[in-house]
Every structure is written in structure tokens, then in C-alpha cells.
């Protein structure tokens, strides 16, 4: 086994295409040069279709969490009230950011593995008519749930004047996002998931309605002040030092995505999801999310005591150089999560499923070798 041939199948960071790695190795250029300004402006413009917006997309040097925080500090003030829709670990992060800045966060929580439904949101907003923003997670990485953002947006617009702010960190670029058509006010994401880059870039787009609020607010942060980014983007630059090499890589990523086309990208991720879920069912492994709300980018599996999830992960890593993710918070050590996004295709899914079958056999779990692979193959063949 080649020890340097690592196979990463976690829900981020994801593998980086070789041509993107090569693009990032270009010689450094001045971040205030005309060459960089032209590249930066062109690259920011090319992000718009993946957000489903005609609004500007802002690029920050920071992780996905910096984008979440940007969404909070530019739209709310201390003492304001917000509704936070929580279906896992990352919804809770939005609530913690709100509270750090003195915002009153009203939590609407559902059990891990369930989605937030429009009916729940409607009832919650009737109880909390004073909220100024509603925060939601599009793909809840900790559970493999993909919340129905389009339906939630419609409900929020119907029953509230609150802004709708969405964390799409672990799915944008792999799933449909129609920010303008759906009526979402702010969408944020990061570079290390479906955008196939290292951690270090955050992206954000805001609606005209959101901008009216942002312009009227006193910014709570310096580095994350969106008004500064808006002013700088008009001059084809950033207010603070950009991550130049990552922008080189992002331009190459957008070439790759544009070559495949967003409709095909979405279908590929749905296919990999369906293959993975069919395989796990064939292996009698419980899936955390219902089919209707299953994420296209990550599948969470709960053995429910049938075998040790951590033992499975250890064998995968030691014997096959394959890394899958474990559980978070109260699910730590209990579940495992398979990432299938970005630089990943159906044959990669067959590889990881085959290795999971062998690892299950090695840890003594009841498994029929080939059952999961066969189920996944049948999904793939039907698609082809």
C-alpha cells in the first residue's frame, strides 16, 4: 500500500484536483496589482450562478465560520432577536455566534436526523413575531440532512419580515441554490467543500433587502464589515489582504465546474448519494436522514449498536488509507459519515463502499460481502 495515497471521504475538507493544485502553485503576484484585480473581479463574477443570484458575491480570506459570523454581525445589533433553525451541530453554531454579539437567539430545534419543516417554522414565527432574522443550515453536515430551503424561504416571507440567512457551506456548488428566486437574503459558503479548495476562503451574497438593513446598521466587526467589501469590490479589490494563491485555485475550480455544468454537477451528487444510501441499506446499516431530506454531499449512518463505528473507521484508515468521518457532540463514537462531494465521482463511491464491506467483515460485523457494492452498481447502471 502506498502510504502517501490517502483517500479522503469526509464532508470537508475534500480532495483537491491536481490541476487546481497546479494553479495554486503559480508564482505570487502583487495583491494590489492590475493583474490580480482583473482576476479577482472576474472570479467573483463567475460565482454568481452557483448562488443563483445577480447580486455581487464577496470573497473573504477566512473559513466558512467567518462567513457565518459575517452574516450575523452585519444584519443584527445587540438586543435584536433572531430565530435559529437547528437540526445539528452547525445550526447551533449560528446561535452561539448570535449570542456572542448580544443577539437574542430563539432556537427551533429538531432531533438529529430530522429536517426543519415549513410547518414548524410557521408556528415558531407566530410565537416570535419580533425576530429580525432567521438562520438556517442548508446541509447539516453532522446528520446528513438537507433542509428544504426553498420551502422554508417561502414560509418565512409569508409569515415574517425577517431576513432569511442560510449556511450553505457544505453543499453550495453541489446542489441547486436559487437565492434570488427563492427569496433568500444571504447565502454563505466556504472553499473547502464542493469548491474543492483548501480551507481559507469564504463567500457571501446578500439581497437588496439585506443591503438596506446592512447599510442602516452600525457594524459590529471590523474585518467582517460587508460595507468595506462592497466598496472594495467596486474597485476590483478587497479591503484587506486577499489569499492570492487560493484565488488562483478558485479560478481553476470554476473552469472545472463550468466545463461539467451545474445541472450535471447536481445530478452527479444526487447519484452518489443514491448509490451510498442503497449500499448502506443493502448492508443493513441505518441511515440517519429520511430519503426526502437526504443530503447530496454527505451520508450519515447509525449502526445502532450492531457494530462499533469507531472500529470501522480505524480499519478503513489503517488497512485501506480511507478516511471517513465520525460523529459530533453527543453522536461522537456512535455514527460514521461518508463524504461524497466535490472531486468525487461514482467509481470513487464504489471504492469506499467495497472497503467499508471488507472493514465490517474484519471487525466481525454481520455483512454479506458484495451486497453493498451490488446495490450501488445497480443504481449507477440504472442512471447510465
At 16, which helix (H) or strand (E)?
Answer: none
> What CA dihedral angle connects 338, 340, 345 and 349, to 10 degrees?
10
> Are residues 346 and 381 in contact, defined by beta-carbon separation less than 8 angstroms?
no
Nearest to 13 by CA among 194, 223, 192, 248: 192
User: Binding site annotation covers 19?
Assistant: no
Q: Is residue 227 classed as helix, strand or coil in its secondary structure?
A: helix
Long-range contacts of 234-238 (CB under 8 A, 24+ apart): 235/37, 236/37, 236/38, 236/40, 236/41, 237/31, 237/32, 237/36, 237/37, 237/40, 238/31, 238/40, 238/59, 238/60, 238/61
Q: What is the rounded CA–CA span in Å between residue 338 and residue 335? A: 10
First to last CA, the chain: 32
Q: What is the rounded CA–CA span in Å between residue 106 and residue 84? A: 6
At 363, list the grid cell.
Answer: 471487525
At 38, list the grid cell.
Answer: 482583473
Nearest to 172 by CA among 154, 190, 185, 184: 190
List the beta bridge partners of residue 299: 338
Alpha-carbon Rg for the chain in angstroms: 21
Q: What is the 3-state secondary structure (H, E, C) of 269-284?
A: HHHHHHHHHHHHHHCC
- Is the four-CA dihedral 360, 362, 367, 368 of positive or negative sign? positive
What is the number of alpha carbons within 13 Å of residue 199 lying toward its C-beta? 10
Annotated binding site for substrate: 337
Please give the annotated binding residues, written as ranges: 337
Amino acid at each position: 500500500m502506498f502510504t502517501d495515497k490517502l483517500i479522503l471521504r469526509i464532508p470537508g475538507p475534500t480532495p483537491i484536483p491536481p490541476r487546481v493544485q497546479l494553479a495554486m502553485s503559480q508564482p505570487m503576484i502583487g495583491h494590489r496589482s492590475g493583474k490580480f484585480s482583473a482576476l479577482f473581479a472576474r472570479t467573483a463574477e463567475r460565482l454568481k450562478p452557483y448562488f443563483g443570484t445577480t447580486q455581487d458575491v464577496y470573497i473573504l480570506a477566512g473559513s466558512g465560520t467567518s462567513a457565518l459570523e459575517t452574516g450575523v454581525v452585519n444584519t443584527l445589533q445587540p438586543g435584536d432577536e433572531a430565530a435559529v433553525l437547528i437540526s445539528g451541530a452547525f445550526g447551533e453554531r449560528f446561535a452561539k455566534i448570535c449570542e456572542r454579539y448580544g443577539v437574542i437567539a430563539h432556537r427551533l430545534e429538531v432531533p438529529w436526523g430530522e429536517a426543519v419543516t415549513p410547518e414548524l417554522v410557521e408556528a415558531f414565527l407566530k410565537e416570535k413575531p419580533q425576530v429580525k432574522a432567521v438562520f438556517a443550515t442548508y446541509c447539516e453536515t453532522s446528520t446528513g440532512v438537507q433542509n428544504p430551503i426553498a420551502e422554508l424561504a417561502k414560509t418565512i416571507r409569508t409569515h415574517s419580515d425577517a431576513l432569511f440567512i442560510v449556511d450553505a457551506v457544505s453543499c453550495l456548488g453541489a446542489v441547486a441554490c436559487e437565492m434570488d428566486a427563492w427569496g433568500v437574503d444571504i447565502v454563505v459558503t466556504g472553499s473547502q467543500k464542493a469548491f474543492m479548495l483548501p480551507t481559507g476562503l469564504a463567500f457571501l451574497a446578500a439581497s437588496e433587502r439585506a443591503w438596506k438593513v446592512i447599510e442602516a446598521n452600525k457594524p459590529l466587526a471590523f474585518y467582517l464589515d460587508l460595507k468595506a467589501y462592497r466598496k472594495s469590490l467596486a474597485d476590483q479589490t478587497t479591503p484587506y489582504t486577499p489569499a492570492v494563491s487560493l484565488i488562483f485555485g478558485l479560478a481553476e475550480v470554476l473552469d472545472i465546474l463550468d466545463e461539467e455544468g451545474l445541472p450535471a454537477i447536481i445530478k452527479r451528487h444526487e447519484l452518489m448519494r443514491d448509490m451510498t444510501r442503497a449500499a448502506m441499506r443493502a448492508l443493513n446499516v441505518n441511515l440517519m436522514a429520511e430519503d426526502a431530506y437526504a443530503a447530496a454531499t454527505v451520508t450519515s449512518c447509525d449502526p445502532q449498536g450492531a457494530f462499533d463505528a469507531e472500529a470501522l473507521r480505524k480499519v478503513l484508515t489503517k488497512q485501506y488509507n480511507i478516511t471517513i468521518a465520525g460523529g459530533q457532540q453527543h453522536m461522537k463514537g456512535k455514527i460514521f459519515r461518508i463524504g461524497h462531494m466535490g472531486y468525487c465521482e461514482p467509481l470513487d463511491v464504489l471504492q469506499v463502499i467495497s472497503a467499508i464491506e471488507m472493514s465490517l467483515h474484519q471487525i466481525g460485523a454481520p455483512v454479506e460481502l458484495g451486497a453493498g457494492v451490488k446495490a450501488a452498481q445497480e443504481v449507477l447502471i440504472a442512471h447510465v
